[in-house]
Structure 1
Amino acid sequence: MAFTARSDQTRAAILDAARRRFGTDGYERATIRAIAADAGIDPSMVMRYYGSKDGLFAAASDIDLRLPDLSAVPPERAGETIVRHFIERWEGDLADEVLIVLFRSAITNEAAAGRLREIFGAQVAGALAAGVDDPSELPARAGLVSTQLLGVALCRYILRLPPVVAMDVDTLVASLSPTLQRYLTGPLPA
């Protein structure tokens, strides 16, 4: 039992160090050696637990967006529900800043960009599936919703565009909700 607890602590220390290092240095410049030093362990331990830098990055960027169950939401409120959840997720529940690390890394690294596509592709489509009448439209609708979520994340939390940063949450939600609602329930161009 003590071995398992020690192993769990080591894994957690590695992931914390990796998230910090990927966040400050980006994927390309972060090294296993630097991450291990930050975690206070030998680099061979990082390789033992995660196999490679790619494996470590995948584990460090494992994100659950915890999107709301839209089947419990009136269809006309789905856009607002998703926007509010996403903004509050970014602003209130990201003590470890995993989304920011992943987002920054995705701009310069294809593996990180692929990871971001996987997370948003699967999780947004999964959240929308119950409310989309035509399943053939699900990928397009999920993609369009993702453009807005990722766009506001980039402008508000990464680039810190002053007019977008200055908006309070309710104003931002009210501004974005109609667009998301249209992507969710409006007609798609042929």
Structure 2
Amino acid sequence: MSENRQPPRRSDGTRAAILRAARERFAADGYERATIRAIAADANIDPSMVMRYYGNKERLFAAAAEFDLRLPALTGVHPDQASELLVGHFLERWEGDETLMALLRAGVTNPAAAERMREIFAAQLVPVAERLSPDRPQVRAGLVASQILGLALCRYVLRLPPIVAMERADVVAWTAPAVRHYLTGSVTETAEVGLQVAGDAGQVD
């Protein structure tokens, strides 16, 4: 008589189903409103399975937030064009990926989401900055991130009316020069510009 055996557990398939459901649920509801129970229902599994594989919602979110920003290499591209391409690329990513937007929103208030965002930008943006300038690429990437993330918060989360109303081409035109300076400029150039502005402001006709 043959023994009754449980079918082999397809852990990889289960994990994939959980992550797929989690990304969709986090994108639809945001981090705070999404629940383990809802994600499990979306994946058609018991909530205990989600807890078994990921432990809690923070760990699940961190695992689900495995994003490839698909940044352009920018090798051999002129700095002016590189900054325009980079800003335009990020606008497309923010507008085309609801899960990435969910991570951005959650990162404002949730430490796990903020840490995941930092990891993503450090791992993917620093190499791009290093290819354009080997001088302090971590600092340059951090400054670019401050510009890009600040823009995303104002345009897509806080929805400041003047920023929301701007055409994409105008956003690129206004933002790209700052990104170009962060990628290839120097502190000396910044200081010289600041002194010139201060001098002009102090002149009296």
Looking at structure 1, the residues matched to 8 and 81 of structure 2 have their Cα atoms a distance apart, in angstroms, of 49
Shift of residue 39, structure 1, vs aligned partner: 3.0
Residue 131 of structure 2 corresponds to which residue in structure 1?
A: 130
Shift of residue 24, structure 1, vs aligned partner: 5.6
Residue 75 of structure 1 corresponds to which residue in structure 2?
A: 79
Does the CA-based 8 Å contact 1:79-1:177 persist in structure 2?
A: yes
Residue 164 of structure 1 corresponds to which residue in structure 2?
A: 163
Once the two structures are superposed, the pairs formed by residues 140-159 of structure 1 within 5 Å of their partners are: 140-159=139-158
Give per-residue Cα distances to partners, 1:55-76, cap 9 Å, x unaligned.
3111211111111102141233
Aligned length: 183
Looking at structure 2, the residues matched to 46 and 158 of structure 1 have their Cα atoms a distance apart, in angstroms, of 29
Residue 181 of structure 1 corresponds to which residue in structure 2?
A: 180
Runs of 4+ in 1 over 6 A off after TM superposition: 2-6
- Give the % identical residues: 58
Return 166-175 or 38-47, whichever deviates more.
38-47
* TM-score, normalised by the number of residues in structure 1: 0.83
Secondary structure in structure 2 of the residue aligned to 1:70: coil
Shift of residue 54, structure 1, vs aligned partner: 3.1
Once the two structures are superposed, the pairs formed by residues 1-190 of structure 1 within 5 Å of their partners are: 8=13, 10-23=14-27, 26-28=30-32, 30-91=34-95, 93-94=96-97, 97-134=98-135, 137-188=136-187
Structure with larger RCO (C-alpha < 8 A, sep 6+):
1
Secondary structure in structure 2 of the residue aligned to 1:64: coil
Larger Rg: 2
Give per-residue Cα distances to partners, 1:2-25, cap 9 Å, x unaligned.
9798953x4444224323443465
RMSD, matched Cα: 2.5
Does the CA-based 8 Å contact 1:19-1:60 persist in structure 2?
A: yes
* TM-score, normalised by the number of residues in structure 2: 0.77
Give per-residue Cα distances to partners, 1:74-95, cap 9 Å, x unaligned.
233221121111112222x32x
What code does the residue aligned with 1:47 have? M
Does the CA-based 8 Å contact 2:80-2:177 persist in structure 1?
A: no
Looking at structure 2, the residues matched to 73 and 5 of structure 1 have their Cα atoms a distance apart, in angstroms, of 46
What code does the residue aligned with 2:156 have? Y
Structure 2, unaligned runs of 5 or more: 1-6, 192-205
Looking at structure 2, the residues matched to 169 and 29 of structure 1 have their Cα atoms a distance apart, in angstroms, of 31
Does the CA-based 8 Å contact 1:63-1:98 persist in structure 2?
A: no
